[in-house]
Amino acid sequence: MTATPIEEQTQDLSSATSTAAVSAVAAVDSVVTTEQVFEIEELGLPEDVPTADDPSNRANRNNLEDAGFTLDEFALLLSKYDYNFKPGDVVNGTVFALESKGAMIDIGAKTAAFMPLQEVSINRVEDLGDVLQPGEIREFFIMSEENEDGQLALSIRRIEYQRAWERVRQLQKEDATIYSEVFATNRGGALVRVEGLRGFIPGSHISTRKPKEELVADFLPLKFLEVDEERNRLVLSHRRALVERKMNRLEVGEVVVGAVRGIKPYGAFIDIGGVSGLLHISEISHEHIETPHSVLNVNDQMKVMIIDLDAERGRISLSTKALEPEPGDMLTDPQKVFDKAEEMAARYKQMLQEQAEEGEDPISSMMI
């Protein structure tokens, strides 16, 4: 598109004017002042240049369209880093300071969390440095809401406590035998620790010739009797563990030597190699007996035959009645019974075998 004559004249005039102006400046360059130069330059500035004084020209801080996401998306992004801690949560934290009364833990909250000394372990701790080190990263249990200073209270003991109960429940399910050290005794029995939990052994489930008071620091084999986290009850049996171990070497119909350790109206407890078996009053003789005291005395050495092994309840049932050559021999001639014990036991086993082959209940043999 060609310029019109008028446009051409205008362009020529403008060009001539610019050339003349430049020449004039060059001619008087040596005498032009600084203010005059600025005036000349300002003449060439466009009128629509934005200035900082105009509010309409300032950036809108709330306009995030050019940032690639909306305000809602930005808030959602920030929420990912806004940790909402609540009691019962288990979180990772870093130990950064050990103090006399506890430890300061960084879990990413606004304020460092605090773990009291008594919450450091399920076991008693005298020195924090024995179980924690600055910079150590591990799990912590949140015990409470933030206090007035915005600080949370933490615990390791609660985590260990929960896991300890899980472990003993599994051991009970497996019917495992464990070994634990007696750390105290009382009138009712003995106290031990299992996986850090306090356990109790009732006196009736302690099978040893030692007085209870002398059991402290002894390691005992134990079986679980009761595992109840809700009631905080962990009850164990030394007797069951010993009986099970002994049972692995015993069998029904076997004659063993034992000593009378206690006599009750319903029978006598016989120690057979460290475990206790019950000689019930009905199993002493074929003849009727008013009281075991009329036949037996504490510390009597005698032969008895095993007629039942109950591993689940930790019980061994014994009999001298089955060893009597003639009914009533235990009352008139106990030594005769002991002398012929092995012979009578062999006959007893033969009878059990015959009854098993005939499909009869072997338990009926206990009533011979």
Average pLDDT over residues 45-67: 50
Is the confidence at residue 246, as pLDDT, over 90?
A: no
Letter for the amino acid at 268? A
pLDDT for the residue numbered 311: 75
pLDDT for the residue numbered 154: 94
Is the confidence at residue 140, as pLDDT, over 90?
A: yes
At residue 358, the 3 state secondary structure works out as coil
pLDDT for the residue numbered 69: 52
Separation between Cα atoms, residue 13 and residue 43, nearest integer Å: 18
Please give the model's pTM, rounded to 2 decimal places: 0.57
Is the confidence at residue 33, as pLDDT, over 80?
A: no
- β-pairing, 275-280 vs 315-319, is parallel
Separation between Cα atoms, residue 173 and residue 171, nearest integer Å: 5
Tell me phi and psi for residue 35, to 5 degrees.
-60, -40
